[in-house]
Amino acid sequence: MELKNEVLELLKKSEPLKAGEIAEKLNADKKDVDKVIKALKKENAVVSPKRCFYSVDK
């Protein structure tokens, strides 16, 4: 599965997470997760309810 999809699936199933926590749970590099989150924010697929925390708008 593509990292982008993995990040979305994880955020759908959990409370808001930091990029580092997402990377840790997915065994991915934090820099890669940061890039994916930036792209997802541009697409309005994820929201940031608090500074540095990310979630999927349900």
Q: How many domains are contained in the chain?
A: 1
Query: Six-digit token pair at 12?
Result: 């759908």
User: pTM of the full predicted structure?
Assistant: 0.90
The radius of gyration of the chain's CA atoms, rounded to the nearest angstrom, is 10
What's the chain's length in residues?
58
| Residue pLDDT tens, the chain, 58 long | 699 999 999 999 999 999 999 999 999 999 999 999 999 999 999 999 999 999 998 6
What torsion, rounded to 10 degrees, do the Cα atoms 11, 41, 18, 24 define?
A: 70
Domain interval for residue 46: 3-54
CATH of the domain at 21: 1.10.10
* C-beta separation of 38 from 50 below 8 A: no
d(CA 8, CA 55): 9
